[in-house]
Structure 1
């Protein structure tokens, strides 16, 4: 039997006439122009929580998340036209609205939108796939009720898929899986399902099977309803339902039985039907999928090709059928009335009852055209313009001036937000993860999100000093928006150090500083604080004497410089062992300052000197010519004189490093660590993962995050912390000395030019 699913209206877009389906609701008359919009529908207040879904779309890099979101918005009538991610038509995908995203063809920031499908309001957050922007996925999944895990039909379960899966488990987010790119050469959805079961340990089964292979993919087979679905032109809008092809019917029954068996193993109701050897009805199967999916006991697997406009509408049907609404999700807050340490968790009432006290979580900050834009998930009660809300972390009150809903880079003013809504506020000073409540509930807070530690650091500085103010403004804004971006100043190397999740992460922010704040910056390898203690005790006797008419300068210092014990080789020590009045007491602090000043920069590598003790034994002064400056200069020159005659040992910081990797990559990772002069302390293996414990010089760890990802297909992780200082290898010492001498030679011509100008 052939069923042609066509609406009773003809739409026109860009001069092309075609039939338009709207959420499988077939109106008898509908007047639509090229700027078709469902704004009038979306503006209506959604009273019932059953009519809301909050979902995120997450996946590995280049699995087709943004393309899928573009199709969802098009088929639900939110967009009038579809555009490609790469922006070949100079427009680009709606959700990749940042210029850098369209230029690079990747998603950098998570973007929010909303749309309607079958009278269900769906709030969508499209997240990045690159591991460098993993915090965007983290904070999106923290506030969502469900997710779509997109897998490439060719690549299958890839490196970032593991990370996304861990994040979903951390926040207990139910998901449906969409195997994308069936049209690509080498696609194999059966292999992808096998990887889901073996690598991710998902109890997963097909709800659909492909019709055709690779470029000949025509549609899908619905296993629950036993029907074939074809998506014909224009743009996959003409959906045709037909009987299952005769040559596929045996496979359909086998896969349907496999689906029922997977469900029966985790669902009590369907298990009883299975034991009774009764064939469950379509409604019973769908109800079992909904129950088990919400409990994360089963993962339904759908498929299609978003780029070729196939399978998107059936995915939308699955989202509203199987993913939970806000009322079906369990949301927990903490009662801190008796102290943070004894906070008691309690379940929030997610019904759309505005009488309940308002509780919301700020999960993302963004600098908008009208000030800071704060994305907030409303968990309980409601909030409207003019309300006063309180930040439970700072106890600061804020009046809600503007309340909007976000559609990528567009905003729509709304009067009120209810439980289950994702909305945005303007002009609220807060940090990512802050909880907002109404008066009388300041003891309540939501559990914040997990923020991973930065894995890479680089030095950063503006090219021109005149851009320093813009550079500071940009850094202040970016560090507030992104909790994984950290900035600190290293007084020893006199460098600004920027830390983040990867080299791409830092490179993107350097480009944004130039584009958005006109502060062009350079990134480089940070200087590692090598330090040089003298090895032998040396006697010094230095006289600083200068007479040029009038009051002169006179100061003499006598003493010994000696090394500190190895456990104190990062310290500097000053001892006053003088007796009598050869050096008046008021000059002792100046002598100490001169000693410390001389140790700030060594002659061999330009790094700070440490691990020495300055023993002041005797000296002399002049009743007229002695001064603080005289003794400061005498001490400084005495240290420099001694350092020129002494032997040095260059030290470097050693880091304790812990590397966690799958077992199959252990040998390659060990080879890479040995090349970085690592000392392996031990290994540990558990459940397919190995942990390597080692000590590595900090100077050798630069760029290791990128190397580890390439060696382990993105599955490896590492942490490191400072251990101690140890002598550097001979070749490293010589390299540092040569580099410093070259920098001094390069600086000499500039000094000569300045003298000529003067």
Structure 2
């Protein structure tokens, strides 16, 4: 049987914290008959937020995949978190979606995190609809939010509906295309609405916005536009075809309004998903890559007749065992098939496949291109791995995850929990690629690394509650780095003669600062045979192996170029190992002379504060060594953007709340590494020396 992929829509819902993503997802599930009782986020019982931590904090941490049907179309909906520490979830969801709905709060407008998510969606070239939610709230203003979308996001909203009434008198929406009003009664039931003529006081507005809508849409088709300019009315079918084309090409974003919580305006949004968002076959197919991750010009064409290829985009551990969420790009997967993980080169048999309805699951016997499913009990598949037909090995473009910038040390409160903690952390690392764990060799402590305070907070909370491991948590530590500031030309000879075969290797080299974000670069300008070519890899390995421990305080070193100029070797005593040891000695000898410098992570901080508190907020950011990049005044307050060292941002949320009487909000994400001021560097170096002395 061949599935009709034109009836599929793989969509994600993303937005800033509290704009109402999860409520919107709930409403979609209710309207499509998936759930009968509506769960409310603010009562802590929505369907897709089923982790205790989510219900409690009212935020979505894990993106949950849910399938449902609307007018014969199948929607695979992925609810993504809005919180900045979990952007990896948004990013990996966008990777496997075909279209999205950006939800904005009618009073809050375009908030910091919605900007980040919008940027990710632009990079992934995902077509989107815009839904301006919470229009029943005080201060909500649909047209102000659409203007903000244009100004802040640089995106073109195509206004499709206008709200009837404002704030607490908001009662429905006008569909501009059909010139019909949809008015809901006060019962709050989504199906209790009637379709009427436009309210008399809105007729002029409707005509104004409708002609803007039609003109923008018809720009997608020159012939229709010419006819329209000459006074010919375009048919609704033609306009809709043009809107679809423009949406798929990201020329504009059809924009709807309503209140998810009050169940007003949702049906039109669902119809728009069908009418304007792409089917799996209309999206640019995923590029395939070689082992190194370089595109090889081949694509995973979305079709059942192609070989099986799927991307594992999320791993979740729940009461039924490990679930591997996969987006199938091509081919067909049957229960009992054997698949190849092209990353590990191992094959696995697919025992059970399920389709997720949030926390419920339906067993499947097969799945095909375009489906988003979960496979139960895969052993060695991790996020970003490709699984494929063993006869046609391939790699889908993998995901790139940001490096963690903050760490904490944890020790179990009682001896018995050590093993339990190891198992639990192993599962959590598989689920979240931005969460890393290592053991401090000197102290034996377990170090957790993550994207921010909240990220690690929640990890500790999950360990405590889900896995029952009580931890003592150390102070948060910043991931400092070191680099060098000047070129040094130097020479180093390693020789050891003590009976038997000796060791000899001499290298002349230059160590110089590299471009930002280049890590370690090795090149050779040796002419003649003073250092035989076969020893170059050993020399490179020797230098590279030392990059983990810098000369100042032992932090990893960034952005260094080593150029091998010349050297000498001995016909008998030279060996790869001798040259590797020479390179290590050379690194130790020369790095302290190359103007070493401490680097610290700077965070892109976005603070939102009421107007009367902005002075305090800016003063406080300056005290935290922040660099103010700009401020924007909106109707509800001021947004301040700044680059601030991570080390100065611990516990910022409580300071901000105190300063702004609880009304301030902020988000931050890693920006780049920058040199530490001398006094800060001295303190860090002294601290590291103390630590070492204490251990010895």
TM bin, normalised by shorter chain, reads 0.7 to 0.9
Matched, 1:456 2:409: no
Pick from 217, 221, 234 the counterpart of residue 170 of structure 2: 217
Q: Which residue of 2 aligns with 1:348?
A: 300
Question: Quick one: distance in 2 between partners of 1:363 and 1:112?
Answer: 11
Cα 1:370–1:248 shift into 2, 3 Å: closer
Cα 1:727–1:236 shift into 2, 3 Å: closer
- 3-state DSSP of counterpart to 1:58: strand
Matched, 1:245 2:199: yes
Report how far residue 229 of structure 1 moved.
0.7
Contact 1:658 1:691 survives alignment (8 Å): no
Q: Which residue of 2 aligns with 1:77?
A: 33
Question: Quick one: distance in 2 between partners of 1:684 and 1:249?
Answer: 41
Question: Quick one: distance in 1 between partners of 2:46 and 2:139?
Answer: 26
Report how far residue 73 of structure 1 moved.
1.1
Report how far residue 675 of structure 1 moved.
3.1
RMSD: 4.0
Q: Which residue of 1 aligns with 2:242?
A: 288
In the TM superposition, what whole-angstrom CA distance separates every residue of 1:139-159 from its partner, at most 9, and x where no partner exists?
111101111111100001001
Alignment of 1:320-719 (within 5 A): 320-336=274-290, 340=292, 343-351=295-303, 353=304, 355-428=305-378, 429-442=380-393, 444-491=394-441, 495-526=445-476, 654-658=598-602, 660=604, 675-676=623-624, 700=648, 702=650, 714=666, 717-719=669-671
Report how far residue 719 of structure 1 moved.
4.0
Contact 1:131 1:160 survives alignment (8 Å): yes
Report how far residue 172 of structure 1 moved.
0.7
Contact 2:107 2:139 survives alignment (8 Å): yes
Cα 1:463–1:172 shift into 2, 3 Å: same
Cα 1:269–1:65 shift into 2, 3 Å: farther
Question: Quick one: distance in 2 between partners of 1:213 and 1:344?
Answer: 54
In the TM superposition, what whole-angstrom CA distance separates every residue of 1:624-647 from its partner, at most 9, and x where no partner exists?
xxxxxxxxxxxxxxxxxxxxxxxx
Question: Quick one: distance in 2 between partners of 1:528 and 1:335?
Answer: 35
Question: Quick one: distance in 2 between partners of 1:398 and 1:368?
Answer: 20
Deviates more, 1:177-186 or 1:729-738: 729-738
Question: Quick one: distance in 1 between partners of 2:330 and 2:682?
Answer: 64
Q: Which residue of 2 aligns with 1:118?
A: 71
In the TM superposition, what whole-angstrom CA distance separates every residue of 1:492-545 from its partner, at most 9, and x where no partner exists?
565432221221211111111111211012333146899xxxxxxxxxxxxxxx
Report how far residue 705 of structure 1 moved.
9.9
Alignment of 1:59-74 (within 5 A): 59-74=15-30
Question: Quick one: distance in 1 between partners of 2:375 and 2:107?
Answer: 41
Report how far residue 423 of structure 1 moved.
0.7
Cα 1:380–1:269 shift into 2, 3 Å: farther
Cα 1:272–1:524 shift into 2, 3 Å: farther
- 3-state DSSP of counterpart to 2:82: coil
Cα 1:479–1:276 shift into 2, 3 Å: same
TM-score of the aligned structures, taking structure 2 as reference length: 0.73
Q: Which residue of 1 aligns with 2:104?
A: 151
Q: Which residue of 2 aligns with 1:37?
A: none
Matched, 1:166 2:108: no
Cα 1:269–1:340 shift into 2, 3 Å: farther
Report how far residue 201 of structure 1 moved.
1.0
Contact 2:288 2:300 survives alignment (8 Å): no
In the TM superposition, what whole-angstrom CA distance separates every residue of 1:668-716 from its partner, at most 9, and x where no partner exists?
99865753468x8x9999xxx999899x7x8656557998999996465
- 3-state DSSP of counterpart to 2:437: strand
Report how far residue 656 of structure 1 moved.
4.2
Pick from 133, 154, 168 the counterpart of residue 180 of structure 1: 133
Question: Quick one: distance in 1 between partners of 2:677 and 2:224?
Answer: 64
Q: Which residue of 2 aligns with 1:102?
A: 55
Question: Quick one: distance in 2 between partners of 1:512 and 1:118?
Answer: 39
Contact 1:265 1:271 survives alignment (8 Å): yes
Question: Quick one: distance in 1 between partners of 2:598 and 2:19?
Answer: 40
Contact 1:389 1:397 survives alignment (8 Å): yes
Report how far residue 426 of structure 1 moved.
1.5
- 3-state DSSP of counterpart to 1:50: helix
Which runs of no fewer than 5 residues in structure 2 stay unpaired? Answer: 481-552, 555-595, 632-638
Contact 2:34 2:68 survives alignment (8 Å): yes
Contact 1:56 1:141 survives alignment (8 Å): yes
Contact 2:607 2:665 survives alignment (8 Å): no
TM-score of the aligned structures, taking structure 1 as reference length: 0.68
Cα 1:668–1:314 shift into 2, 3 Å: same
- 3-state DSSP of counterpart to 1:302: strand
